[in-house]
Amino acid sequence: MKPFRPGAALAALAPLLLLASGCASNPLPTARQGIPDPGPAPLSAVPAQPLDPALLSPTEAAYRIGPGDQLRVQATGHLPAEADVTVGPDGKIYFEYLAGIDVSGMTLPEAGGRVAADLGKFEREKPHVALFLRRAVSQQVWMLGRLASPGVYALDRPTTLLGAVAGAGGLEVDTSGGGARSESADLSGSFLIRNGHVVPVDFERLLRDGDQSQNVYLEADDFVFIPSLRSSRIHVLGAVLQPRTERFGGQLTLVQAIALAGGTIPEACLPNVAILRGSLSHPRIAIVAVDQVLQGKAADMRLEAGDIVYVPFTPQRVLDRYANLILDTFARTVGVNEGAYAISRKSSPITVGVSVTP
C-alpha cells in the first residue's frame, strides 16, 4: 500500500482544529458531467485517544445475579437445607417452601440475606443462608470474527482481552495454501465495544507484539470483533438513505459510494463528509466538501478497501471528536450485524447509529 500523503488543505490541522461550519441541507443530486477526475484523499492523522489505565485492572464490582445463572443455596438453622436453583427469566428463584424470590441484580450476599429473611418468617431460629455461583450465564462477552471458536462466553471471573481471545481458541489461521499456516485476522480493523463506544485498544500491539499495556479487562456485555484479513469492503454511514457495507472490487469514488447507499437525506451536511482510513487505533481522516465536488468545483476522491465514509447531520467542529463519532457509529453497525448473524445466519443487515450526533 502506498504511504498516505495528506493534502495541503489538511496538513496544518491541529488536534482540535475547527472544521468548516457551513452546511448544505439538500439531497445528494445525480453526479454531473464535467467534474474533474478523482484524486487521492487528502488524509490527516487523527490525534491518538489514550487508553484509560484503570481499564488494565479488574473491576471491583461484585457479580450481579441475572436470569439463567445457576446457584447453590445452603441454609443452616432449625431446618437446614441445600439445593441447586436456576434464576428464572423473571429473575426469581424457588427454594424450599418459599414463593418466588426476586434476586435479579443482587450480589450473592444480598440474595442470601433476602432468602434468610424470608425463611426467618417461618422458623423459630434466624437462619443463615449462603449462595454460591455454580454457573454464570447472565454476564457474558461476545467474541466474534476470525477466532478459532467464536461465540458468546460467560464472564464469571476477572478476564483480560488476551485471556478471552485465548479462551476462544486464539486467532483463526488459514491453511488453504498448503502446509504453511498464516493468520486470517485483520488486527488493524479489530475493535472492542463497551456501552456503545469503542475502547481504544491497539489489537496489533496486544496480539502481535504482546504489549500488556493494551490488555484491558473485559466487562459484561463487551463486544469484541476481529474481521477477516481478506475482506475488501467499504462502509457508508450517517445521513444517507441506506447505510451499508459494499464489496470493494476495484475503483470507486466517494460520490459513487454515497450513490450506492441511495444518496443523502435532506438533513445531510455535505461540506463535512469524512473518509476514515487505516488502522482503527491510528486512523487518518479526510474532510471532503461533497457539495463542491457535485458543482464541478473540486475533484471527487478515490476510495480504498476498508474506507469508512461518513456523511454527518450537522457541521463537525472538532477533528478528534468527529473521528470518534465515526468509529463508534461504524463499530455499533458492524457489531449489531455480526451479533445478529451469529444468532441467526439468515439475519438481514441492520443499520444503527444513523442519527447519532456528538
pLDDT tens column, 313-348: 998 888 889 999 999 999 998 888 777 777 765 444
Spatial separation of the C-alpha atoms in residues 272 and 269, rounded to whole Å: 6
Query: 175 and 160 in one domain?
Result: yes
Look at residue 8 and give its three-state secondary structure.
helix
DSSP string, 284-310: EEEEE-HHHHHTTSS--BB--TT-EEE
* Angle at the Cα of 244 from the Cα atoms of 145 and 303, rounded to 5 degrees: 90
Query: For 251, which DSSP code?
Result: -
Q: Is residue 275 part of a domain?
A: yes
pLDDT(107) > 60: yes
Residue pLDDT, tens place only, 12-25: 222 323 343 356 44
Query: 218 and 159 in one domain?
Result: yes
Last residue of a domain, one of 102, 119, 135: 135
Q: Is residue 337 part of a domain?
A: yes
CA 298 to chain centre: 34
Are the beta carbons of 118 and 167 closer than 8 angstroms? Answer: no
Rounded mean pLDDT of the chain?
83
Q: Is residue 357 part of a domain?
A: no
51 contacts: CB under 8 Å, gap ≥ 6: 199, 200, 201, 213, 214, 216
User: What is the domain count for the chain?
Assistant: 3
Spatial separation of the C-alpha atoms in residues 281 and 227, rounded to whole Å: 14
Name the β-bridge partners of 217. 160
**CATH no. for residue 76?**
3.30.1950.10
Question: What pLDDT, on the 0 to 100 scale, is given for residue 344?
Answer: 63
pLDDT(121) > 90: no
Confidence of residue 184 (pLDDT cuts 50, 70, 90): confident
Query: Pick the residue with more confidence: 80 or 17?
Result: 80
CA 220, 226, 231, 233 dihedral sign is: positive
Range of the domain at 40: 10-49+232-343
Q: Is residue 355 part of a domain?
A: no
Last residue of a domain, one of 87, 103, 135: 135
Spatial separation of the C-alpha atoms in residues 206 and 218, rounded to whole Å: 14
Are the beta carbons of 275 and 307 closer than 8 angstroms? Answer: yes
Q: Is residue 81 part of a domain?
A: yes
Query: Pick the residue with more confidence: 1 or 184?
Result: 184
Q: Is residue 309 part of a domain?
A: yes
* Angle at the Cα of 281 from the Cα atoms of 199 and 217, rounded to 5 degrees: 35
Are the beta carbons of 217 and 160 closer than 8 angstroms? Answer: yes
**CATH no. for residue 245?**
3.10.560.10
pLDDT(10) > 60: no
Residue pLDDT, tens place only, 204-232: 999 999 999 999 999 999 999 999 887 78
pLDDT(83) > 80: yes
Q: How many residues does the chain have?
A: 358
* Angle at the Cα of 227 from the Cα atoms of 224 and 231, rounded to 5 degrees: 165
Q: Is residue 277 part of a domain?
A: yes
Confidence of residue 33 (pLDDT cuts 50, 70, 90): low
pLDDT(78) > 90: no
Confidence of residue 180 (pLDDT cuts 50, 70, 90): low
**For residue 42, which amino acid is it?**
P
Question: What pLDDT, on the 0 to 100 scale, is given for residue 355?
Answer: 33
Q: Is residue 352 part of a domain?
A: no
Last residue of a domain, one of 192, 226, 260: 226
pLDDT(143) > 90: yes
Query: 298 and 253 in one domain?
Result: yes
Percent of the chain scoring above 90 in pLDDT: 55
285: Cα within 13 Å, side-chain hemisphere:
27
Confidence of residue 77 (pLDDT cuts 50, 70, 90): confident
Are the beta carbons of 138 and 120 closer than 8 angstroms? Answer: no
Q: What is the CA radius of gyration of the chain?
A: 26
Query: 30 and 117 in one domain?
Result: no
Are the beta carbons of 63 and 133 closer than 8 angstroms? Answer: yes
Query: 76 and 90 in one domain?
Result: yes
Residue pLDDT, tens place only, 158-170: 999 999 999 999 9
Query: 191 and 102 in one domain?
Result: no
Query: 97 and 147 in one domain?
Result: no
Query: Pick the residue with more confidence: 2 or 106?
Result: 106
Residue pLDDT, tens place only, 249-290: 778 999 999 999 999 999 999 999 999 999 999 999 999 999
